[in-house]
């Protein structure tokens, strides 16, 4: 099949997925509002501490808000398109992956549009904190307007990195079947840790967050250059390279994992 036809097919599957989700409008609106509320409560928790004590290891509230917002928006972008990778366990346990394997298209392409997730609450909240923190830092003269396009770029590379981590974790499910517990570590805990400056953690831990689970490259490393002028523009090139390498490695791992897939035989 041609590349454009794959794309059209993908678009059609996503449209169908959105229509099915919109059947329950009230739930969608409530879920979005509450998703935003939870995001607020999580950020407020730290904001309240910073309000009382000032900076944490030299990082101001605006800077931590920036780290938080970039992570939220990258995760939102990843989950909007790749939510089913995160929920692969149900396909493995119920044997639903069998149906996708019989389709005349790559499994990943069939899997991703199964449930296109519109995360309005996260976009609103992440967007709000990003605008607020960038505006605050611009006002104090800490950063210039160039941060804005670069921020959009690192949200994109961040989403690629988070997707790669998610895909690699999901792939382990071909051997272990159950992956939810592992995802809590590689996705949730790691991502939450990277919402704060990595200097807060002992070396072994920040080392893991930059190598084994490279969440530090989603927001922390680019922020060193964008907000604090440490290093040079080459940092952004490194971040992009990490994103491409992680994606390539996780895709290869996924392909290998697929060959080990055994149906549940239900």
Partner 1 sequence: MLYFTLASKAYSRNLQYRGAHMVHNLASAMFGYMYACLWIGIGADHSLGEYGTQGMISYIAFTQSSLWISGFLTNGLGIPLSVRTGQIALDLMRPVHLFTHLMAREWGQIAYQFVYKSIPIYLLFSLVFSLHWPSNVSTLFYAALGLAGAAYLSICMNYIIGVTAMWTTESSWLHWGNHAMMNLLAGFFIPLEWLPNWLEQLAWLSPYPFLLYVPTRIYLGFEDGSLLWGTLLWCVFMTLICLAITQVLRRKVEVQGG
Can you give the binding site for partner 1, defined by CB under 8 A?
Answer: 24, 26-27, 30-31, 33-35, 37-38, 40-42, 44-46, 48-49, 51-57, 178, 180-182, 184-185, 188-189, 192-193, 196, 199-202, 205
User: Please, what is the minimum distance in Å from the beta carbon of residue 226 to partner 1?
Assistant: 22
CA–CA separation, 34 and 40 (whole Å): 9
Provide, rounded to whole angstroms, the least separation between the CB of residue 76 and partner 1: 16
Min dist CB 183 to partner 1, Å, is: 9
Which of 87/111 has CB closer to partner 1?
A: 87
CB 70 within 8 A of CB 130: yes
Q: Tell me whether residue 48 or residue 248 sits nearer to partner 1 (CB atom).
A: 48
Contact of 215 with 166, CB cutoff 8 Å: no
**In angstroms, what is the minimal distance from the CB of 111 to partner 1?**
24
Q: What angle do CA 162, 168, 173 make, to 5 degrees?
A: 130
Residue 131 near residue 70, CB atoms below 8 Å = no
Q: Which is nearer to partner 1, 85 or 193 (CB)?
A: 193
* Long-range contact set of residues 14-21: C-beta below 8 Å, sequence gap at least 24: 14/113, 14/116, 16/113, 17/113, 17/114, 17/115, 17/116, 18/116, 18/118, 21/115, 21/116, 21/117, 21/118
Matching residue, tokens 């990595």: 198
Of 188 and 230, the one with the shorter C-beta distance to partner 1 is 188
Minimum Å gap between C-beta 249 and partner 1 is 23
């Amino acid at each position: 099949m041609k590349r454009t036809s794959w794309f059209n097919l993908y678009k059609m599957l996503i449209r169908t997925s959105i229509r099915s989700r919109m059947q329950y409008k009230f739930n969608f609106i409530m879920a979005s509002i509450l998703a935003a509320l939870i995001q607020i409560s999580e950020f407020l928790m730290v904001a309240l501490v910073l309000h009382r004590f000032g900076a944490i290891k030299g990082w101001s509230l605006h800077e931590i808000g920036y780290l938080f917002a970039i992570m939220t928006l990258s995760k939102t972008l990843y989950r909007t398109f790749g939510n089913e990778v995160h929920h692969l366990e149900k396909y493995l346990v119920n044997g639903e992956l069998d149906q996708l394997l019989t389709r005349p298209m790559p499994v990943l392409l069939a899997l991703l549009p199964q449930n296109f997730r519109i995360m309005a609450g996260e976009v609103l909240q992440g967007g709000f904190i990003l605008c607020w923190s960038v505006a605050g830092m611009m006002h104090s003269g800490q950063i210039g307007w160039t941060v804005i396009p670069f921020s959009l770029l690192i949200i994109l590379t961040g989403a690629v990195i988070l997707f790669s981590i998610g895909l690699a974790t999901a792939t382990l499910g071909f051997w272990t079947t159950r992956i939810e517990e592992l995802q809590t570590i590689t996705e949730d805990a790691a991502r939450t840790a990277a919402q704060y400056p990595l200097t807060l953690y002992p070396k072994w831990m920040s080392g893991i967050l930059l190598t084994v689970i490279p969440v530090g490259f989603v927001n922390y490393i680019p922020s060193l250059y964008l907000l604090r002028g440490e290093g040079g523009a080459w940092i952004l090139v490194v971040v992009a390279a990490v994103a491409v390498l992680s994606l390539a490695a996780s895709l290869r791992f996924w392909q290998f994992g697929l060959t080990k897939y055994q149906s549940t035989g239900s």
